[in-house]
Chains A and B, each alone.
Chain A
Amino acid sequence: MSDALARVPALAAQHLLLAMAALALALLVGAPVAIRAARAPRLAAVVLGAASLVQTIPSLALLALFYPVLLWIGHGVPALGFLPALLALTLYALLPIVRNLVTGLRGLDPAVREAAAGIGMTRAQTLRLVELPLVLPIAMAGVRTAAVWTIGAATLSTTVGQPSLGDLIFAGLQTQAWTLVIAGCGGAATLALAVDALLGWAERAAGQRRWRRVGTALGLLAAATLAASAPLWASGRDRTIVIGAKNFSEQYILARLIGAQLERAGYRVSYRDGLGSAVAFGAVAGGEIDVYVDYAGTIWGAELHRTDTPPRAVQVRAIADWARRTHGVTLLGTLGFENAYAFAMRGADARARGIATLQDLVPAAPNLRFGADLEFLDRPEWAAIQRAYPLRFAAATPYSPTFMYRALASGRADVISAFSSDGRIAAERLTILADPRRAIPGYDAILLLSPAHRDDAKFAAALRPLIGRIPVEAMREANYRVDRDGDKQSPEAAARWLARRIGL
């Protein structure tokens, strides 16, 4: 775990940079809007209403919503990473800033405004010399609230491919590595408290008219943010390879395996973990990541919108052709194993009920509870399965993968949407139900390269040793090393084990 904890400072720096950039942008946008709104009650109602509406959108959804919007804008605007995270967090930070400034300006004693006009101040002078200094305390309170919110919500930027302390939290939740979760949460909380303390210090000093002290506090904050941005301008030329990973153990392990392979070939690599399944392909097509592993059936349904189930080799060839033609993405090859959706039951339970196939499950389903992973119930595969087998479960509940297995073991769920490469299937003696009607397409693990590496022979050569090399048993074992409850390994360690196991 210590190699993962070593990432805390770098991630905290990225986290701080993102949050402070969002806060600064929110101030830049929010302050003029609030000043206008304070003089126009109608505008104030609209602005405060809109800002409140934004707050009602869960921050995770707000972040995810910017992906399609930026994708639609196109023209080289990055749809993943810093930009969508910045925009979403800025929207989030607007409400407390605007609300406090409007409230403060509206609450000013009219006599002060009359005095300002009476001694010949212009509107701009009144604002600068009188109104803003007087609302500073209440405005600062809004900025502090916004800062704490933004730093908290920035942990979610991981899902749109922007590194943050959320990387640790998401990876930790996924692999049940609680030290990682605590490191991520603790790091974010520490950042929030530190920033709040500095802003509070500046606020108190401003109240006492100690301007040098205000400067020191804000200067410290600016310096910390600037220092956090240092890695960005330092490594400008020497471009590192970014390896993407979705948010489950197998993806983390394969990303490290790919990373080790590339480092051996002399590349510098970094990881973009915890990408949502929907944004991963977009990320490689847009060049935000250079390489990642996806699964044939996922691309088949979600990107090609196909519902037929041809033989696996035909399917992979069709995807390779489509990816190159429409997005310039190279499908370098299959890794050698499948990670298909597979319905699993407790072995003893399946035998007792006489269920061996999805067909057998149909009459039993109304008495059974179904546990799915977070996205399965909305995926085209589930629709395809329901078309082939009219399954009507007593209940269907989405779980994160780890908790899904727990639910099956504890009897809270009777059937789950497992993954065929999951080590827990063998370890927990689960029965995989057969699919006699071939409703579920093939899920070969495929290696996808961004358009920049389309004709990159050196890059392809570094990764080609992985093609066809990983049998499903080896992948299951590697996954189990990370997913098991006791004696857990980090994805890095499991990747090293896997490399030895397949003789790399």
Chain B
Amino acid sequence: MKISYQWLSQFVDLKQIEPQKLADQVSVTGIEVASVIAPDAGLKKIVVGHILATRPHPNSDHLTLCQVDIGAEEPVQIVCGAPNVAADQYVIVALPGSRIANNEKIKRGKMRGEASEGMICALQEIGFSDSVVPKEYLHGIYVFPEAKPVGQPVFSFLGMDDRLLDFDITPNRADTLGMHGAAYEVGAMIHEKPRFPEVNLNESGAKSSDLIKVSVAEPELVPQYLLKVVENITIKPSPLWLQIRLWNNGIRPINNVVDVTNYVMLEYGQPLHAYDYDQLSSKQIGVRLAQADEPFVTLDGEEWHLRPSDLVITDGAKPVGVAGVMGGLNSEVTDQTQTVVLEAAVFDPTSIRKTAQWTNLHTEASTRFEKGINAADVETALRRASQLLADLAGGQVCEGIAIGNQQVRQPLQVQLDPARVNHVLGTQISRQEMLAILQDLQFDYQDQADKILVTVPLRRWDISIEADLIEEIARLYGYDKLPSTLPTGIQTKGSFNRRQQLIRTVRKNLLAHGLDEVISYSLLTEPQAVAFTHTPKPAIKLAWPMTQDHAYLRQNLISGLLLDLQYNLAHQQNDVAIFEQGNVFQTVDNQNQPKEVPMVAALWSGQVKPTSWLTKTRQYDFYDAKGEVVNLLTVLGVADQVQFVADDTIAQLHPGRTAKIILADQVIGFVGEIHPNEQQALALPVTYVMQLDLLAILNTELPTIVSESAAKYPAVERDVALILDQNISNAQVVALVKENGGKYLTDVSIFDVFAGEKIGHHKRSLAYRLHFQDPAATLQDEQINKVMLKVTSALTENLKAQVR
């Protein structure tokens, strides 16, 4: 709500504090003031003019020549195109050299041959929004309802010299959605007691309760429901001072009755509604839940089929309003209305919230009912509106109130322990200071032996426990006065757990090897979410995704990396080596929450980085990816236990260029090339990826490291070159060598792979270096020869190897 500085100063002495300074203070002690709005900002030389005479423009069928008194010695001629211009109007004149809305400059000029000394303005032309301009002036110039001093700036006559503090309230402080609440808040801050005028009513004639019968079917949902009848009213525009209050708060003035209900809502924060009494055929008002699909037309002309959870107001039979949200077209106040029924109520916030949400009718009224109402002022607001209708519409206020329900709870009493306040805040605020703050808040209290018993007024329904009162003390005492300390007490150990250490190790290693880290979205399309996994689970879908691109929870990290690659390729970044560490989501039978598995995945595409004038460029290949995986597994201590097995089971990967990674009989990941079909579909060059399940690695028990002295005896190396059938894998050879290499074989490394004509079709040559070491003695040639013979004959026998 936009709190008018001028209006506020009628309730509380603002001690001449500048609006901006007041706003800053309110922000620091209570409610964030998003901005201070000056409606006349940027406008100048806009004055009241009195149209003395008009005549049609000789060269136009829609322009009018106006003789306008602008307070100068002579009247000036202004050309006006508005259809509603007429003699004897008091109007807004933008003089030559003036600035109007949007920083537009007005110059003296000629229009179709006739001089024009400025412009007669519509409200929109001096910065009003279409949504607040009274309907009669929406398509023409604005005309003051009464004479104003000509030549004077218009701003003060239109409320534009006011300053509006835009209170950006949090949901708990809806008590400031009315001027009274705002006055209490500001008053507490500047130690001023707010003062509100009394409501004095002259009631006469019939009793409200005789004129209208009221019944509330759901008293639980409607703790207060009060009606008052005002007769013999004359519908007309409201006085300008009231219209100003409305339009400065974004509400369009309609007529005196509607305006009064809105005005009192701004005053008290209590939404009111006015029904045309004569449209209520049975002279009854009921409150009940709607029937399923019950049809209803709200006063904005919209047609609804209501739900059984919606509260409706009825004329005894059919709905005439959606409670707390919007009235109906069938009981709307019109120019012909003579008698109105005013309604002031409290509705259940949850009920109103549900209705406002599904209908998407977030009105000034529904917002307030949702967030809470000052139960103490419901009747007062009703009486205040009646008083204004008597004053402004000549109405006759009927006696008393027709009560549907009037349950007003007792104010809460909350104990405040001054020691507790200081214990929580870390302060040494004296009891006297605390009592002074409670006084500033206008809270009643009893200063008891050790505690203070505070009676919380109903207008502060956000306060119900001691912690709430501690906040009141703290904010008004001033957070700037809090000391700055650090928690003391028993020392605690700060450290990363094993999982966090493992993840850090993984990231650190990949970074050290030149892979850039990325963070992709966890929510993807369904095909993206379920791709690249050996164990696809049912896709987990959002109930109401924002877009189809982000609707399913990912089960792999590769799809995200591919999106990152595509983005980079589209921006001429062709050499990409990236990785991501993050969770994938897997449904688990009989378990509500999915399993979240920490994974790491990497992607390589384009030229090997970094390139330089010293190195020959080449493209990333399978073995770059695999090498990185092995490196990671080594650092994580499981490389020895891992097997790479050719794999053609993941549809998005090349069936001949993919290995699954197996640790203790469990598939923990894969490394491979993106399938050519997939590459084509995504317009990618040849790309390699890997993914590892870090949870599986984390769950692997590692032996304690026990060091040994480095061997002092010479090691022996022997090379062996083999010609093999092409389909014999390196893994087979190595396994056989290890099996037959004896206890001194420490390592087998391949150092050459060759295929070509010389060797023959479907053959290839593999060359290995075998490392032998006896930790306790020097190895003898005969020993090694014997082993080598065993190895080569095993290779020959089992793999038909030909030793070169």
A and B associate in one complex: no
